[in-house]
Homo-oligomer: A and B are copies of this chain.
Amino acid sequence: MGKMNNFLYAGKACGLKKNKDLDLGLMISKFPLRVSAVFTKNKVKAAPVVISKKNSKNIIKALIVNSGNANACNGKQGMEDALRVVKSLAKEAGIDESSVFTCSTGVIGERLNVSFIEHAIPDLLNSADEEGFDNFTKAIMTTDTFPKTVSKSFSINGSQYQIRGSAKGSGMIMPDMATMLAFIFTDLPIKKETADKMFKECVEASFNSITVDGDTSTNDTASFFYPASADTFIDLTGNDTESKHNYQIVKNALFEVCYELAKMIVIDGEGATKFIKVTVVNASTEAGAKKTALTIANSPLFKTMITGEDLNWGRIMAAVGRAGVPLKAENIDIYINGKIIVENSTASKKLTKDIEKTILSPKEIDVEIDLKSGNKKRSVLTCNLTHGYIDINASYRS
């Protein structure tokens, strides 16, 4: 783990989850950190989102996350409760309240039982260590069926560094400049403005390009923590070749962590049995490519078609036409797992009965739409819609 031992983690069961699963996660840093973060664009924001957005401008020393309760839509009480959590942690840890980053995830509109959290904080702080990352990751899960962590090593000027992250999904996934909960940590000191830019770009093509069900939560937050020590900054923004090279190394590692976590969230989408990548190529704008890919990815008829393994490709054409992006309606090609299905908006002559029967059998489905109207491209990751989604969501609170 190298210098990642700046970061100490813990995860506990404090009682918010009725089944006694871990529900309270902590990261506390030996050294001052900075954070780059993107938050939900939902106009209804949970109290911890408001606090963390404010504190993300400051030096960060600790992160506290609870699952089992979103602390959203609890009005002034919700804000008071979230502040109490921050205050308790700050007091016990001997750090400034303004240096705490906090997140909550779970049911909306039920009051957070702060005393459960307060009660657990001393124990949480005592148990925090370099090995606590797995417990931290388990503590942030809700309907996730497996914990999601990724780590990458990279080398800059002969020194080894690491980026590692954990995330939770797995419904209400349709981020817009933000996402579910994702926490990413590195031991490389970076200037905040550099990291902000880099992280925003990585999020856009990862967490911000996935959808499970088109819903956006009130609590989505993706955050990237790194040492704040100005005396050890490595230049990542210079115009010299070395700076540019180093910037690319860090960005690649960060993007890989974001993308793999994003992919895990989709694979673990509520009830999902298939992973789907929808790519729109040769669009006239990147925004249009993304909008078209998202329209397909969010279509329940497309998602159920994948579940049924029934190549009713007209549903893809209907979604393309509905996306509201300028296109030549008679020019569209569709490829699935590399095989051409639709050519110039009609069934391809290469589409045999055999292909039709088996093309949707694999666990991973790659759909590519060629709009032939430009040179822009975007991918969106999603999953299929199954009975499992309905089972999970018809009884989420019980």
> Could you list which residues of chain A lie within 8 angstroms of chain B, going by C-beta atoms?
41-45, 70, 72-75, 77-78, 107-110, 171-172, 213-218, 298-301, 304-305, 307-308, 310, 312-315, 317-322, 324, 327, 329-330, 332, 342, 344-347, 385-387, 389-390, 393-398
Contact = CB atoms under 8 A, between A and B. Distances in A.
A312 B72 CA distance: 12
Contacts of A77: 346
17 contacts: A42-B318, A42-B322, A44-B345, A73-B314, A73-B342, A108-B318, A109-B317, A172-B315, A214-B299, A215-B299, A216-B322, A218-B314, A218-B317, A218-B321, A300-B393, A301-B393, A308-B394
Given A42-B318, A390-B386, A390-B387, A312 B397 contact: yes
Contact of A215 (B43, B75, B310, B319): B319
B109 A395 contact: no
Contacts of A386: 390
Contact of A317 (B44, B307, B318): B44
Contact of A344 (B75, B110, B317, B393): B75
A329 B389 contact: no
Nearest to A395: B308
A75 B322 CA distance: 18
- Secondary structure type dominating chain A contacts: loop
What is the total number of copies of this protein in its complex? 2
A61 B110 CA distance: 62
Contact of A318 (B44, B320, B324, B390): B44
B394 A109 contact: no
Contacts of A389: 300, 304
Contacts of A345: 44, 73, 75
Given A73-B342, A310-B398, A313-B109, A305 B393 contact: yes
B318 A218 contact: yes
B312 A44 contact: no
A82 to B, nearest CB: 14
A346 B108 CA distance: 10
A346 B109 contact: yes
| 6 cross-chain pairs, A with B, having the tightest CB-CB distances, nearest first | A108-B314, A308-B394, A44-B321, A304-B393, A75-B346, A42-B321
Contact of A72 (B317, B332, B390): B317
A197 to B, nearest CB: 25
B73 A109 contact: no
Contacts of A218: 314, 317-318, 321
A332 to B, nearest CB: 8
Given A108-B315, A346-B77, A320 B44 contact: yes
A390 B307 contact: yes
B214 A310 contact: no
Contacts of A43: 320-322, 324, 327, 329
Given A299-B215, A301-B172, A390 B385 contact: yes
